[in-house]
Amino acid sequence: MKILYTAEALATGDGRDGHVRTSDGRLDLDLAVPTEMGGAGGATNPEQLFAAGYAACFHNALRRVARRAGADVEGSTVTARVGMGPAPADGVARFGLTVELDAVLPRVGREAAEELMVLAHQVCPYSNAVRGNIDVVLKVAGLG
């Protein structure tokens, strides 16, 4: 694969209760374990960062395949929900992720929107990275 861009981030402190900063300084954030997981909360966490990246990347892929198909993507949005929880395997306590991608395509019918979601899931780099490792649910809402 020919690399076109490389993002670099440094994590310091205590992991999930630490700090992250990109090499260009554009992202510079404290991290905190969410209260739902027994932490103090009050700062972002890796799952929120992953959800934001996946939503943006998938939305770009969805808009690209929709335009190729001649679909009107005006007003479209994608929401990514990243869940984290225990995922026991082979008697070992592990944690795993789940992802739900909800697309709003207000100018596209349900069947066409569902087809576009499947196509976008095939070309999105995040989808390709997690395929076979994380359960991803595709949902369509807000149809015309």
Q: Which domain holds residue 19?
A: 1-44
Each residue of 27-43: b (16+ CB within 10 Å) or e? Answer: eebebbbbeeeeeeeeb
Asked if 133 and 70 sit in the same domain, the reply is yes
pLDDT per 10-residue tile (average), the chain, 144 residues = 96 95 97 94 96 98 97 96 87 88 95 97 98 95 64
Tally of domains within the chain: 2
Asked if 123 and 56 sit in the same domain, the reply is yes
Please tell me the predicted confidence (pLDDT) of residue 74.
Answer: 95
Supply the CATH number for residue 23's domain.
2.20.25.10
Tokens of 133: 């490792």
Residue 137 CA to chain centroid, in angstroms?
A: 11
- Phi, psi angles (nearest 5°) of residue 139: -130, 150
Asked if 53 and 40 sit in the same domain, the reply is no
Contact indicator for 95, 84 with CB cutoff of 8 Å = yes
Asked if 33 and 58 sit in the same domain, the reply is no
What is the pTM for the complete model shown? 0.93
Supply the CATH number for residue 105's domain.
3.30.300.20
